[in-house]
Structure 1
Amino acid sequence: MRRHSLSAILIGCLMLLAGVVGQAQDDTNYLFFVRYDGMGAVGYLNQNGELMQTQAINGFTAEWSRVVSADNGIFFYRNDGLGAVGQIDRDGVFRTTDAINGLTANWTHIVSAGRHLLFVRADGLGAIGYLSRDGRLVQTQAISTIGTNWSHVVGAQEGVFFYRASDGLGAVGQIDEAGHFTTTQSLPVGALITGWTHIINTGRNLFFYRNDGQSAVGYLSRDGKYAQSQSLNALTTDCTHIVNLKNHLFLYRASDGNVMLGQIDRDGQFSAAGNYDGVFSAGYNKLVVADELMLYNADGTAVIGRLEQDGSFSPTQAVTLTAQWTHLLIVRQ
């Protein structure tokens, strides 16, 4: 692994070091940070893979349960039914565009699915909405039953995939342009393997992983049907985070920092592409992909780097951020 000189930046004191302040251009992928106590920050990665902060925020509402990036903005939700919408402008400055009271309480999943947001609750209640261009939440459908106790709800290229880990129940649905949901496939109990811990949308495919190292690859057809293309049972065990990184799957294990790299080909077949043992520190609890990869530890330490064409990882910056960010997401412009 190539080593680069590593610089540091301190967001924790809400002060910017000389040379760190930057102004983003159009089509920037912003990093958006939110903490349980109402602190927030906005930044982006420059062409050198270095974090540039554009805004520090200390007046957010506290204890958001979910913060979701969507078309036309960012949606905030708290389990008591409080909600908000905000947008980041071309200068990297966040502003609130909608404050909402009285949303349904205790949504367990809020998933970005194309231009829409899908809301799912454990008791089977559901709803569809979207964010308008001026940053307002608009509901298009209320759903009385969408299946109960889903453990995973994953937005994919050709629909939404539902999975219940306890018994292997599954379903697929699609949302039309008017914002109405239709179930396109029901998979009975036992149709899917139980216990999947991760289901990752890779674009065309879905990648399934279980902590014992078992995995599978599948896809959704254009008419909203699920089909499996591969089953594997010998991957690294106990991976805690899996992200899609430049046509690779990056599987990270927080206990010891081990990383496995893999690829899925056009036929939906996964193959190992490398293993990093002793390269990454243990303990990272958030991984996000902008143009590069950021690995963040709750103590505030983080590393940014890029995946090279030969599969090697080149760190571009070590950063010391505020500790205990509870939400860290990419906002694509």
Structure 2
Amino acid sequence: MADTPPRPVEGPSKSSLLPAKSWHHFVAGGLGGMCGAIVTSPFDVVKTRLQSDLFRAKHVGLSIEGNGAATVAVRRNLLWHFVETAHIIRDIYREESPRALFKGLGPTLVGVVPARSINFFTYGNGKQIIANNFNHGQENSWVHLAAAAIAGVATGTATNPIWVVKTRLQLDAHKPEIAGGNSFFGGSVAMVKKILREEGVRGFYKGLSASYLGVTEGTIQWVLYERLKKLTAGTQGKGGALEWFGMIGSAGTAKCVASLITYPHEVLRTRLRQPLVDGKVKYTGLWQTLRLVIAEEGVGSLYGGLSAHLMRVIPNAAVMFCIYEAALRMT
């Protein structure tokens, strides 16, 4: 009787709660998110200010002539918005100090590490669990979509308070020393106390409905990224610049398309997270905010800060996903 060949070692059984080495996604996602956030922080500040009506009057619609007179600026083409972003960065640098370009970086780092860790952990392991239990172990776009949606909801719920603090700090036009504390985290602590004092615990969950709406962005991004990775699969395993170019291109393209489709939710979320004005709340809910913004400023305002957003998120995604993939390969 012929010897029975040994059974190959398989991955975790369907009954396992999580696949083996599931923590690798957690660590790799956090590391990638941290590096991306640091590199692109100035663009994040500009984007947040352009999304808010508290700063649009300052940064958009007015220009100063040589004689000091203010005139209404003519609406420029799309290319001008990228130039405008550079001008705003220059103005913030001159008027508020270089450190102002990194306002909100403290809570961003505090938030982006767990946010990306949770997102990549939930998605990376979720797609395997869903595939093993509901699709005969095979991954496809529907599996990726379901895993991405679950990851988005989990991430948004867990980290919303951190993003509220970050947004409030970025909308504060005072110099960092005046805003509270001599460090990124000192200002964050002062802002946490202010929100608790003025709005209570509920203040930390403003914009959560818009965050849930924004789950569609992450879902589209993940599904596109997986599809584009398959298209560039021929470059994988070859090493060198070609393989990394395929990875960078997949991540950047997926983020660009997802952002263009879903961007208005970013503006609505920023408006909902704005501080009180004269002790009053202007934006009270998702649909009320949408109607009010369109009525007062027009549909175009739903794309305020888009150029700065794209200049931030595309390189951010490229850096984040490259570090994520590299970290997974090294572990």
Relative contact order higher in (CA < 8 Å, ≥ 6 apart)? 2
User: TM-score per shorter chain, which class?
Assistant: under 0.3
As a proportion of its length, which structure holds more helix? 2
Larger radius of gyration: 2
